[in-house]
Amino acid sequence: MKNCNGCEFANWKRTKAGRLHPSGVGHCTYQVPEPELPASMYWVSKRFLCGGSINRRKTFEKDCPTYKESAK
């Protein structure tokens, strides 16, 4: 899928009435699983993720590898 419409992980901005906001913006709630490290390795500092902004009116250049059809 080249957009997040219908994705289980899409959290869209809503109006006070609970409808989808006209701006079309939202946030991707997909949580990247942390890799299991061998006993000989450890994290030096906390990892930091950027991004996650999505929009119902825009499409990506490539398919999203984490897209999962919503049950709603």
- Buried-exposed string 10-41: b where 16+ CB fall within 10 A, e elsewhere: bebeeeeeeeeeeeeebebebeeeeeeeeeee
Confidence bin at 65 (pLDDT 50/70/90):
confident
Domain parsing of the chain, residue ranges: 1-31+50-60
pLDDT at 1: 77
- Determine the Cα–Cα distance for residues 54 and 61; give it in Å rounded to an integer: 13
pTM: 0.65
pLDDT at 52: 80
Mean pLDDT for the chain overall: 85
Average pLDDT (45-60) is 78
pLDDT digits 0-9 by tens, 15-47: 999 999 999 999 999 988 877 766 766 677 666
